[in-house]
Amino acid sequence: MNPVDFVIGHALQWGSVALLMIGLYIVMTRGNLIKKVAGLNIFQGGVFLFYISLSNVRDGTAPIVHEDAVLYTNPLPHVLILTAIVVAVATTSLALALIVRIRESYSSIEEDEMAKADLD
């Protein structure tokens, strides 16, 4: 496979990998907890798109039974990722609830300020 095809032929996968990297970078580098959660969401979003890209079948239609349809895309990854999206919603809400409690006890949601508060 020549390099151009490798990039263009996998555009969806490259996109989701980019999202994974961006998300992970935000989680690792930001000290603000809300930004960390946002980064986590971008990270998970990359995986969602990756799964959806798996289900793509060239010239396939939406997986709804229809008399004219010859080829369907694969619906299974859609269902799987629906589950993962529900999990991500639960994770995000729990993370936000924790941030509320952290804010109540530390009066801050910045990593470095909390670390300082715990040292005192």
Partner 1 sequence: MSLLQQLPALQVAVPLIGAPLCALMGRPRLAWMFAVVVAWITFAISVALLEHVLDAGPIHYTMGGWPEILGIAYVIDPLNALVLVLVSGMAAIIMPATRIGINVEVVHRARHLFHTMALLALAGMLGIAITGDIFNLYVFLEISSLASYALVAMGIDRRATRAAFHYLVQGTIGATFILVGIGLAYMMTGTLNMADMAARLPGVSHTAPVQAALAFVLIGTAIKAAIFPAHSWMPNAYTYAPSLVSAFFGATATKIGAYMLLRLVYSVFGADYAFGEMKIGWVLVPLGLAGAVAGSIVAVWQHDLRRMLAYSSVAQVGYIAAAIGFANHDGLIAAIVHVFNHGLMKGALFLVMACVIMRLGKADMESFRGLGRRMPLTMGCFVVAGLSMIGVPATVGFISKWYLVSSALDAGLWPLALVIVGASLIAVIYIWRVVDVAYFTDPPPGARDEAPAMLVIPAVVLCALCIVLGVTTDLTVGVANTAARLLGGAP
Minimum distance of partner 1 from residue 30's CB (angstroms): 11
- Rank residues 56 and 61 by Cβ distance to partner 1 and give the closer one: 56
Q: Shortest CA distance to 12 belongs to which of 53, 52, 62, 63? A: 53
The rounded distance, in Å, linking the Cα atoms of 60 and 53 is 13
Question: Residue 32 pairs with which residues in a beta bridge?
Answer: 110
- Rank residues 62 and 96 by Cβ distance to partner 1 and give the closer one: 96
Q: Shortest CA distance to 74 belongs to which of 87, 93, 60, 90? A: 60
| Interacting residues toward partner 1 by CB under 8 A | 20, 24, 27, 33, 36, 40, 43-44, 47, 50-51, 54, 77, 80, 83-84, 87, 90-91, 94-95, 98-99, 101-102, 105-106, 114, 118
Minimum distance of partner 1 from residue 52's CB (angstroms): 10
The rounded distance, in Å, linking the Cα atoms of 13 and 62 is 20
- Rank residues 22 and 95 by Cβ distance to partner 1 and give the closer one: 95
